Structure 1
Amino acid sequence: MSWLMPFAPSRARPVLVCLPQAGSGCGVFRSWQDALGDTATVVGVQLPGRENRFAEPPPESFAHAVDEIVTALVNAVGRPTVLFGHSLGGLIGYEVARALPTPPDALVVAASQPPHRNGKIAGIALDTDEDLEAALAAKELDEDLRELAFTVLRQDADMAATYESPSGAPLPCDLHAWGGEADERVPAGDLDGWRDYAGPAFHSRVFAGGHDFCLEKPEAAAAVRALLPTWQEV
């Protein structure tokens, strides 16, 4: 099954590629298509093991996931793009942006720790199940959904544990690091750690909200709209 999930028919307009946080599927970005309207086609990156790919085995490694995403984007997306990654999705987006033969116009990492902090996923230790269970404690889930969410989060933690930091390899595009002012997992002060990985330009911005500010605050979608390139059909 495809690693990409478009939320609107393909048209001659910019493509916003969204990578969700650990333990989540890309369906959380479906509402962004309505928010952005005709400004862009929103495409979610769907890792196996969740939502419509629940029955599939998880990626063999972080590098395997990046390779598959890059291949899917090269084959399906041939026009200006912005990559948007939330939490672990930001780290994946960073590696995807570096690996694409034609770089995106920009990468946005939201509530995401920089590559040299790869020992954790957004402040969550990867060592024990207790740490992962604690990360789900604040979510209002019934027992079955909590078990499912834990399974996906465990898979993503195992994948993230295989990540090897590129030691400051710069991006071939502009880098925007965004955070939530009330985010206790990725404090706003951590955003500046992305500066060493920036290529042409680095920008940081703090929004109202916590770790999920980009899904809860309409200001985030509006800020993404401002980054999208103008596209004229010819």
Structure 2
Amino acid sequence: MSNRAPSGALIAFKPRLTDNPALVCVPWAGAGAAPFRAWTSVFGTAAAVYGVRLPGRESRIDEPFFEDVDSLVKSIVAEVESLGDRPIVLFGHCSGALLAYEAARALGPRVTRLVVASQLPPAEAARTAADELGSRESLAERYLGEDVADDSEMRAVALEILEADIRAVSGYQFTPGRLRIPITVFHGMNDREIRSADLAGWVAESTILSEIREVANADHMFSGAAWANLAELIAVELGLVTV
């Protein structure tokens, strides 16, 4: 078991529960680890919630962005390996789902389950990745909240991070190879970007039965109350809480 503490790239929001399962959360393009802080109240002591903080944001604002998916995945893998032999669940939202998927492939049996939300299956995402770049206005409309979009300084910083992440993901190339762990896919029923039917390809990415879960009152970003609801649904799916 590794004794190396996670670096500033993997954020534990509470004192580390070294014997409990670790839920390692990979954010969407442009985001940092902070959104996952709210999930700690849902999981309590049942699991330790970690947020992945990639270069160029939050406390790593002065570090250069990674330019490709391979570099992003390698950094995530290195951080997960620092958690030792405890059970690991990887969660990824939007483009973070692709990074979590590739990290799960690289880590093999160290990961017990992959959970993703609001992302096309890897093979389909690879075919459409370059289309994500678009214009700055379309990116701001899709990804930035009103509080950021209406502040010119915050908007400029956020768009720089967002564009860097999407450039990296735009070069994503899918290589076939099925996981040997369950995959759970969450999809907001109010998602106007991805249809439920578009997600069927995720089932083919595992040798074990995988499922797609529809979530009522949730949009593509799982905004507002849907964000905490998503955490609750994941906790139930993992058998960490009961309903």
Task: State if a TM-score over 0.5 links the two structures.
Answer: yes
Aligned alpha-carbon RMSD (Å):
2.2
Counterpart of 1:23? Answer: 30
Of 171-180 and 133-142, the range deviating more from structure 2: 133-142
1:65-87 Cα offsets, whole Å, 9 max, x none, are 11111112112342012111110
Q: Pick the aligned partner of 2:10 from 4, 7, 17.
A: 4
Counterpart of 1:194? Answer: 202
Q: Which residues in structure 2 correspond to 1:56-205 (within 5 Å)?
A: 56-116=63-123, 117-120=125-128, 125-136=132-143, 139-141=146-148, 142-167=151-176, 169-205=177-213
CA distance in 2, matches of 1:39, 1:171: 25
* Structure 1 spans left out of the alignment, 5+ residues: none
Residue 138 (structure 1) shift = 6.0
Counterpart of 1:221? Answer: 231
Residue 137 (structure 1) shift = 6.5
Secondary structure of 1:72 counterpart: helix
Secondary structure of 1:176 counterpart: strand
CA distance in 2, matches of 1:221, 1:111: 14
Of 182-191 and 61-70, the range deviating more from structure 2: 182-191
Contact 1:125 1:131 in 2 (8 A): no
The amino acid that maps onto 1:166 is T
The amino acid that maps onto 1:23 is G
CA distance in 2, matches of 1:19, 1:137: 18
Contact 1:14 1:229 in 2 (8 A): no
Counterpart of 2:219? Answer: 210
The amino acid that maps onto 1:118 is A
Residue 197 (structure 1) shift = 1.1
Moved over 6 A (4+): none
In the superposition, relative to structure 1, how do residues 200 and 22 fare at CA in structure 2: closer, same or farther (>3 Å)? same
Across the two proteins, how many residue pairs are aligned to each other? 228
Residue 140 (structure 1) shift = 3.5
Residue 220 (structure 1) shift = 1.6
In the superposition, relative to structure 1, how do residues 108 and 184 fare at CA in structure 2: closer, same or farther (>3 Å)? same
* Structure 2 spans left out of the alignment, 5+ residues: 1-6
Contact 1:5 1:43 in 2 (8 A): yes
Residue 161 (structure 1) shift = 1.7
Contact 1:124 1:131 in 2 (8 A): no
Secondary structure of 1:135 counterpart: helix
Contact 2:24 2:91 in 1 (8 A): yes
In the superposition, relative to structure 1, how do residues 37 and 196 fare at CA in structure 2: closer, same or farther (>3 Å)? same
Secondary structure of 1:16 counterpart: strand
